[in-house]
Structure 1
Amino acid sequence: MRPLIRIAWVLVALHAGFAHAAPRTVYEGTLQGAGAVVMELDDRPAADGSISGRYFYAQHGVDIPLHGTPAQLVEPLVRTQLPDDARDASGFRGQADFDHAAATWQGTRDKAGYRGRWTDTRSGKTRSFALRRVAEYDPDAVAPGSVEAVTNSIAGGVGSGIASGVAIDMRQAPYATLKLAGHAQPAGPEIGDGTVAYRMWRDPRTKLMYPRLSRHPDPAVMARINRLLEQQHWQMNLAALECASTRYSDDGPAAGSLGGYDDEQVTVTWLSPAALGIVESGSTYCGGAHPNNHYDPVTFDLLRGTYLDWNRVIDAAATGKDGDPGTSPALVSFITRLRDKATHGQQVTDGESDSLSCADVFPEYLAFELDAPGKLSFVVSGIGHAMGACLGPQLDVPFAALAPILRPGGARYLVPGVKLK
């Protein structure tokens, strides 16, 4: 029952957020003797005079919630430090317990910043702080919509807090940007040839690795692609750090963990001067109804510096009678012929004890993956938890056999790739 209760609280929180949300101001500076911190606080008090916010130590990146009055903000104990009766009373709320303070922030806010004194409520130790005002933004403008938020809650538990498709930058999401920028570093050897190559980058706080191009014939394309790769990396890092921050609000087995992102597999499956293929796969979990078992190919257009539009390569999509995009009839026929030739497709049940081939779920759960030594794989991606055994490549075809569905100019993308291993 706990996941259902958690989801109910997500819906309540969404409603409350839309009703009472306020723009926030972001501050950056130093807490004496503890290091660099970044904080965001409501610009306007709520009807009861209270304000909320959060902050993180730059070296850790884990949010600590804040709540109180403009004169004094409270940061709570982590839930494992709460008295048993307090944990029992608030166990399903999914919220921090501000009645049991770990520390208080007392200070003055003005146009320049926020200054004052931090006090450890248990030891009485105090530290001065001086934070400068660096940005203002509206968190609701970049937050996931209700459907995405509930989906995140069901599959995996928490997301990044930033809607998919929103650029994480100082204009739209300054708090998140300050959390992420400058932390990932190159890790591992350069892989490629004299024309195009990549290296993996790693954020030491989450251990999550993600590639960046280190060589490409067009510097402008390389810069655009690396920005997209950074955004992919940042979204996943944020989700990991969001899960770590649940140590203040949740008692579940994943609370305070990295949500499985420290075990996430990010694999480069293809690299050529024309395309970069990556697969994100693993099982992430931070208190949802079930783990988010996933296999997600992502392909980048290295001729244009964007995500790859597969319609530039093959006859992939067409507009249906209802006006919505769907898989093209030509591709459906092509996959059907491939499937009929495959005699050993993996068999699973559909939840109603009916056996079927994993390839039978095409085209509904279809994604594309470029693989060595030069083939296009048809991948099951995004399928429900009950059929997770089907995730991954199910059919493949050499580049040379794509002629029946190849778009004019599509051959430009099907050039030989570099050796990856």
Structure 2
Amino acid sequence: MTNALQTIKRLWRHELIPMLANLKLAIALLLLIALFSITGTVIEQGQSQEFYKLNYPDHPALFGFLTYQVILIVGLDRVYGSWWFLSLLILFGSSLAACTFNRQLPMLKVAKRWFYYTKPQSFAKLPIATELTGRSLNDLSQALTQKGYKVFQADDRLYARKGLIGKVGPIFVHASMLLVLAGAILGALTGFTAQEMVPSGETFQIKNITESGAWSKSQIPKDWSVRVNRFWIDYRPSGAIDQFYSDLSVLDLAGQEVDRQTIHVNKPLRYRGVTLYQANWDISSVRFTLNRSPILQLPLTKLKSKTNGGQVWGTWIPTKTDLSAGVTLLTPDLQGTFLIYDERGNLLSTLRLNGSTEVNGVTLTIKEVVGSTGLQIKADPGIPIVYTGFGLLMLGVIASYVSHSQVWALQVENTLYVGGKTNRAQVNFESEMVQVIEDMPKQELPLVSC
């Protein structure tokens, strides 16, 4: 058993981890992820089977092979939640993690190590090196400290460095990418998307799920509901829509209001990890009276106008109890304008809200038009992790631009050997070293009597 465990550890450490940390493998995985991500933006996601049959028929097949059957079998209709796409993300994350632990962390450990040069000949291999006469090692230490260097000094030797955070930058970048991948995988497995069309005054629970992850059931709320207090539209003077508004209340199981907000486009309602966006609208029904009857309500059906291709909503209102006669009511929007047509399609009257007209011997009064709000509802527990990853990515990119500079010095009698190197911004480093040397006071040589 012990030998088997040792064999597994050896294979893991010496074969699997180096294979995962291979740069070519990481690049290939990244290109595959990018390719399938592009495919997911080109091919419509989450549509019905009939939609794909209509837009991707067998004959002629798009590009000679892309048909609705290929899309549905491979899972190109739900790329970002498919098992093979998530597997690519996990494999790419494993490659990043292996690279971080196998390469980046050892490189950081090497960068943190330091040593002294003990021979003048050693300075010849440094990119920047000089010999100074009449300069003190202590003065160099003080000048480097003023420039932000951390100085290590022992007897006649000195080592100084700054910008070690620049070596941490790539690790931050790798960690941020791992967080982004983890957030994306978590969101794909536990998140869901729903759509609801709800008339004003009605209460609903989230049920019309259009997309969901394998473990998303726990995220779908069962202990609270939403009431649409009112939906309305602001129109511009030209008649064009300016903004949609929905006054929403969140209710607990007892029906008590626990939150209330008015949402509009780009201002959603967020409650316990679920976000409700204003996405669409519709006209649900019309309320009216005939003579002195109680208020009656009939649903409105969305129709397509033959004149301008726009949308209108209409219904048929009976004017006799035996339904032998009636009129057609049409409205183009929620501004409260109604057109009344007879059975032959002749325009009888135009009404506004609370307006009345005589039709077939009865008085028709329009009381109210009821709008419906179209809500897109999303829950994605991975979003905070993704945002954290992007924040760490920005820090990592900034840190990566910090130069890691190192300086060595050796005092041999009256000669001070100084050298250094940096991993970037070579010209700036040279200028800095010149300034350091100029800031050092020059000591007077002692007079020697003959």
Instruction: Report the TM-score, using the length of structure 1 for normalisation.
Output: 0.20
Instruction: Report the TM-score, using the length of structure 2 for normalisation.
Output: 0.19
Asked which structure has the greater CA Rg, the reply is: 2
